[in-house]
Amino acid sequence: MSRAVSLQRESGKLRNAARRLAKKGFRAEAGKMMAASEMARMREPNIMTPEFRRMESQAHDALSYAQQAASSPDFDYERDILPMRQAFFQDTAALPRDQQRMITDRYAPQFTDLGGETLKERGSLQQMRGQQVALEATQQRLKDDKRKFKQQRKAEKALPDMSGRLQRILDGAGTSEQKEKALVSEAISNPKFYTSQSGSTMLGTAFGHVTRGIARKTKEDDVAMTLRKLAVQTASDKALELLDAGDIKGALKEMARRVQEKEDKTLATTTGLRLQSVRDKALTSIKSNLKTLGDMSAWHYPVTISGYIKDALRASSSLPETAKELQRILKIVEADEGKVDGYDPGGPVLKSLRVVFNELIEGLSASTGAPPPSAPPAPSVKEETGL
């Protein structure tokens, strides 16, 4: 069931209230109320339509809800009020433009003022809380500073005695490891002194002196062990003898010599294997291309032939005469790339190329130890082509 809507204008309500106050003798208050009535009348339409009354009723309800929400400790204007405010003023779009403006002029400031007052109060509260936190932090710092000052005074009084105890440990007999254990025991037995600034600095200096000795001895042992491992790895008995004799420089030279010998042998072997592999791959590629060129039923395009020749040139460095002939044919093919659709398998260019490929295969087979091509010996380029 919908809520009943009053049919009386707001200005009428204010005017009636002014009359009642005047009858009771409150003429000053009655004058103010009458002025408010006239102001309300200026914001009201000449004809109070049901839609206008309904929007006024909704505005009263929305403001009432907003005031209740604003009293909540966790009030958030953008979350609790702003969506409702936007929805309400969107609903006023159904009213005529003048009535819509009246509703907006009358109620929009009230929503805005409510948000501003709440934000201001919240800002003041946050400022007070921030000041309280800052005050507590300052008080805590003062307490900590006072405690540290007392601790530092006690440490200064004990400084001569503690310094003497640490010095006796450092100057005493024993290895660096034993002195390090003694320093740890000393620090545990006097924690208050050694947690002060002076005590911590003094103990750190003592530990640094001891640990440097440990590190130096460890480093010397590590270097000696590393050198012996290197001598064993290089299979150099002479280097081991030099290390036993204390001649580190001579041992390093001997190991370097053995390593260089090993690297030279490895490099020679690797280079030979790599060259053999490259030649084998080149030989396989050229044989495949030659087989393709032997297909007398297919025409071959200059671009494809150019690629075959370039692959062959990369493998012909050890055969200068063959490389020279490949360069000559390549110039002819590159010149024909934009002119010729495809080469006749029996034409002079492909005949010449097949002859050169056979020569190249024969030369590479001889250098790699591979068996020569099974095809019969091919005539020279000039014999076949007449070029």
What pLDDT was estimated at residue 386?
A: 44
SS (H, E, C) 45-79: CCCCCHHHHHHHHHHHHHHHHHHHHHCCCCCCHHH
Give the residue from 333, 350, 349, 343 showing the smallest Cα distance to 299.
Answer: 343
Q: What is the pLDDT of residue 180?
A: 81
Residue type, 135: L
Helix-, strand-, coil-residue percentages of the chain, each rounded to 5? 80, 0, 20
- Cα separation, 373 vs 213, in Å, equals 74
What would you report as the CA-atom Rg of the chain, rounded to the nearest whole angstrom? Answer: 52
Cβ atoms of 118 and 75 closer than 8 Å: yes
Helix (H, G, I), strand (E, B) or coil at 202: helix
Residue 383, pLDDT score: 43
Is this prediction's pTM over 0.85? Answer: no
Q: Which two tokens stand for residue 183?
A: 């320093």
Query: Angle at CA 346, nearest 5°, toward 343 and 352?
Result: 85
What does the alpha-carbon distance between residue 70 and residue 82 come to, in Å, rounded to a whole number? Answer: 12
What are the DSSP calls for 294-346, one per residue? T-TTS-B-HHHHHHHHHHHHHT-TT-HHHHHHHHHHHHHHHHHTTT-S-B-TT
Structural contact between residues 353 and 293, judged by C-beta atoms closer than 8 angstroms: yes
According to the model, what pLDDT value does residue 382 have? Answer: 41
Count of Cβ atoms closer than 10 Å to residue 373 Cβ: 19
**Per-residue pLDDT for the chain (387 aa), expressed as one digit of tens each?**
445 545 566 667 778 888 888 888 888 888 888 887 777 777 666 556 677 777 777 777 777 777 777 777 666 667 767 777 777 777 777 677 767 777 777 777 777 776 665 555 555 656 676 777 888 888 888 888 777 777 667 667 777 887 787 788 878 877 878 888 887 887 787 777 777 777 778 778 888 877 876 766 676 667 777 877 777 877 778 778 887 887 887 878 777 777 777 776 766 565 555 666 777 788 888 888 888 888 787 788 888 888 888 888 888 878 888 888 888 988 988 888 877 788 888 888 888 888 888 888 888 887 655 554 444 444 444 444 444
